[in-house]
Amino acid sequence: MKILVAEDNPVSGKVMAAMLEKMGYEPILAEDGQDAFAFYESLGLRVIVSDWDMPLWNGLDLCKQIRSHPGAGYPYFILLTGVHTSQKEYEEAMAAGVDDFLAKPIDPVALQMRLSVAKRIEKFQHQVVSLEKLLPLCMYCKKIRDQHNSWHSIESFLTKRVTKSLSHGICPDCYPQARRTYGLKD
């Protein structure tokens, strides 16, 4: 799993990268929030570990940009700090969309626990996306259930969601039955 690391201190970035590699992850290093966002956009990374204080965009700016980005899925965002520890600052970070916090210096066991949570969330998110791709179809009347638990004919359901017009016909497999039922002639 690739992990985006936004850290302006080169030594801290290398230490974090070494920790992540030892745990079996592939770190992608960015020197500030703007570079990190560019990596996020281009690579679609699912886990971000970001320092709070950085030049250009700080960790909160980066998190806000990621949360407002219409990309697919929900990336897990861990904010690193050695200075910001007040409840008000944590509330501000949570309002920006931060999922978790780690104090500096980083404890590898604490980092591993948070990354385990990120993996679980990624797995559940994948399951939800798979389920959302299914259309509940009545096996008897062929109506489709929408997200509001209402049932609609296939025609009305598709008419609301497809940009093409629908036309009706009879397929070759159904033609003999339709011919008998409706007295159709060849």
What sign does the CA torsion over 111, 50, 100, 90 have?
Answer: positive
CB distance 142 to 131 below 8 Å? no
- What's the whole-number mean pLDDT along residues 13-31? 96
Q: Where are the chain's structural domains?
A: 2-132, 144-182
116-145 exposure pattern, b = at least 16 Cβ within 10 A, e = fewer? eebeebbeebeeeeeeeeeeeeeeeeebbe
- What's the whole-number mean pLDDT along residues 157-184? 82
Phi/psi of residue 27, nearest 5 degrees: -80, 140
Residues 71-113 pLDDT 10s: 667 899 999 988 777 889 999 999 999 999 999 999 999 999 9
Query: For domain 2-132, which architecture applies?
Result: 3-Layer(aba) Sandwich (3.40)
Chain mean pLDDT for the chain: 89
Q: What is the pTM of this model?
A: 0.72
Looking at the chain, the number of H-run helices and the number of E-run strands are 7, 7
Q: What is the pLDDT of residue 72?
A: 64
- What's the whole-number mean pLDDT along residues 45-69? 93
